[in-house]
Structure 1
Amino acid sequence: MRVMVMKGHERNITRVLFNRDGDLLFSAASDKTPTVWDTETGERLGTYNGHSGSITDMSVSWNSNRLVTASGDCQVKLWKVQTGEELLTYTHSGPVRGAQWAEGGERFATVCDPFVSHNAKIQVFYAPEDADPESLSPTPEVLIEIRNREEKPTKVYWTQFNEDLLVAYENGWVRKYDPKTGEERTGEGSSAKLHEEKINAITWDKQKICFITASNDYRSCLVDAKTLKVLRVYQTDRPVNGAVISPIKDHVLLGGGQEAQSVTTTRGQAGKFETRFFHSIYEEEFGRVKGHFGPITAVDISPDGLAFVSGSFDGYVRLHFFDDDYLFMRDEVPEEY
């Protein structure tokens, strides 16, 4: 397996993200500076300078023209990908945990923490690409206030065809909301408790029929997006910080590791800093990829399924290209099947 190691951040990686074509890789960290890389050469193409707090999430539009970044500085920023120009800043009432583009790239959604007298909020902003940047409004089109302070949203996602907002929470719940009215969905398939602890990330399959979760309760779940029924569970012995579904094989990749505060007192081997490969149907682990010196904090897989990227508490981004042994490997069927 060919690996490119990219060092462009001074602190722990919080997000790694391929664009839709797979030729660009975006990375973010607690060092305030989102970065874009060329996936063919590993060259750093540029940075997006302007935040004063750690970057918690980011999302690139379908055509790779615009980027939104969420930060602990209570701001979301809208950028031109090619030039690094900041188009608009959206000020929030608390640290922002998530930001995601809708399909089509006309709207994006955000979630922010409760702060002082302000409740946690889910917001939807209208930002069409063909609009004059000066005409864009920092006022949300939809605002949902989470009045229960015991429920803290961690991330927000758009379901297939932008039908719902899917919001993950620290208490292990996921809930769906109407992106046009802000009303919480009711009935079967509208909410579910998927984990016992914080949900760190959710990643979709290629068609947005299923999604996979990553949680601090040492588990990752493959979930039906319509019914929120858990289809498969991948059990580990460590917190799971990121999980992705292969678009070409029946495999899922999980990244995690020992809690960050204990990293300095634990050897890499004991800390279990590998990307783990599971068969998505049989739930069996069949491989691991090492290389990081700290917990893996983020993972993504390229749209063509030929490469994956991992980011770690060690500040490094590692881009892995699968070799033929993996790509043409036939999966063994367990005896019980």
Structure 2
Amino acid sequence: MDKKKGAAPLVCHGHSRPVVDLFYSPITPDGFFLISASKDSNPMLRNGETGDWVGTFQGHKGAVWSSCLDKPALRAASASADFSAKLWDALTGDELHSFEHKHIVRACAFSEDTHLLLTGGFEKILRIYDLNRPDAPPREIHNSPGSVRTLAWLHSDQTILSSCSDMGGVRLWDVRSGEIVRTLETKSAVTSAEVSQDGHYISTVDGSTVKFWDANHFGLVKSYNMPCNMESASLEPRFGNKFVAGGEDMWVHVFDFHTGAEIACNKGHHGPVHCIRFSPGGESYASGSEDGTIRIWQTLNHDDEETTLANDPGGNVKDPAEDVTEKVEGLTITDEKKPGEEGVEKDVSSV
């Protein structure tokens, strides 16, 4: 099948190993930010609009599987294969606390009120840390049926959403009782679970299927078969009329939410796409890949996408020639290093 291309992306270099998780902050007075997790053990913070590097959080000794920002984007958290989750000052890059675990930590999430940090991983235990008392023992919720792959809060922090690496389904936990109150059934393990910005939908990816669930009544709203096995999907937050998905074919696909029809296909990555997320305003979306790059794609409206498909019958997306080198002023996370030194990348440039 002949695939068509969308607009050329901004290409963000810096990670030396695969990018496995992306997270956008909400819009703050200073704009919005993008944090990435990578197997190179160094989460990176970027300006969410331009992709400009802000800094690198250094301290983990193993692959970082998940990273996130709190609502005002003042603190970051990361979950790592070094058996720890870390809390960071997002303005200075300082490590505020390290939460030690007994096995690989695969997922982390700040509560909506920013006071709690949720973690999960190979121990099959959900842990809730009180960030006002980081030295206090966490609350532990046991009985996860498998190793935790993804975590999210919903219903004003009254419910936790979790999926497992080794079995299908998404489980909804009542925070007060610590019990599973509902399971959203899927055939394969869920590799991505996102709560929409308006709180109306839960988007899940399992194998070659993207599903959308009612986040309040938990009924299945839409289910679409994809052209290949996907790893991640994200719903456009402003209008909710399209979604993006990426996976093993290395392409970033754009689909109509109402019909499931593909309306654009972005080429450029040189490895499977592991993660994809819309920016909080919906004007762009970012993808992270096995190739170690993050690509930020501009969102086109339906007419623009149809014009792109009609006028360009296939062909690879070339990276933009321009070199974006601006830095966000006033935010210093790590000492600057000479070009070529590992762990810091200052430019958003073409390949």
TM-score range, shorter chain: 0.7 to 0.9
1:322 positional shift:
2.9
Deviation at 1:52, TM superposition (A): 0.8
* Cα pair distance change 1:275/1:158, threshold 3 Å: same
Q: Do the aligned partners of 1:102 and 1:108 also contact (CA within 8 Å) in 2?
A: yes
* Runs ≥4 residues deviating over 6 A: 327-330
Does 1:124 find its partner at 2:116?
no
Uncovered stretches (5+) of structure 2, i.e. residues with no partner: 1-6, 308-351
How high is the sequence identity, in percent, across the aligned residues? 23
1:226 corresponds, among 216, 221, 246, to 216
Structure 1 residue corresponding to 2:12, chosen from 6, 9, 18: 6
Question: Is residue 2:232 matched to residue 1:242?
Answer: yes
Deviation (angstroms), 1:126: 0.8
Q: Give the match for residue 268 of structure 1.
A: none
Amino acid at match of 1:12: P
Counterpart of 1:174?
170
Distance 1:108 1:324, change over 3 A: same
Instruction: From 142, 146, 151, give the equivalent of 1:145.
Output: 142
CA deviations over 1:66-110 (Å, ceiling 9, x no partner): 111001111000000010010101011211111011111011211
Partner SS for 1:10: coil
Q: Deviations over 1:135-176 (max 9, x none)?
A: 522520x2112375xx22211111121121111123111112
Residues 325 and 179 of structure 1: CA distance in aligned 2, closer, same or farther (over 3 Å): closer
CA RMSD of aligned residues (A): 2.0
Question: How far is the alpha carbon of 1:283 from its aligned partner?
Answer: 1.9
Per the normalisation by structure 1, the TM-score is 0.83
Provide the rounded CA distance (Å) in 1 between the counterparts of 2:198 and 2:162. 19
| Conserved? CA contact 1:4–1:42, under 8 Å | yes
Return the offset for 1:326.
Answer: 5.6
Structure 2 contact 263–302 (Cα < 8 Å) conserved: no
* 2:320 aligned residue: none
Q: TM-score, normalised by structure 2?
A: 0.80
Q: 1:321 aligns with which of 266, 275, 298?
A: 298
Q: Where does structure 1 lack aligned partners over 5 or more consecutive residues?
A: 115-119, 129-134, 258-271, 331-337
Partner AA of 2:152 in structure 1: Y
Q: Distance in 1 between matches of 2:148 and 2:117?
A: 16
Tell whether the 8 Å contact from 2:158 to 2:176 is kept in structure 1 after alignment. Answer: no
Q: Which residue of 2 aligns with 1:191?
A: 183
- Call closer, same or farther: CA 1:236–1:74 in 2, change over 3 Å: same
In the TM superposition, residue 245 of structure 1 has moved relative to its aligned partner by 0.4
3-state SS of paired residue (2:172): strand
Q: Which has the higher contact order (CA 8 A, sep 6+)?
A: 2
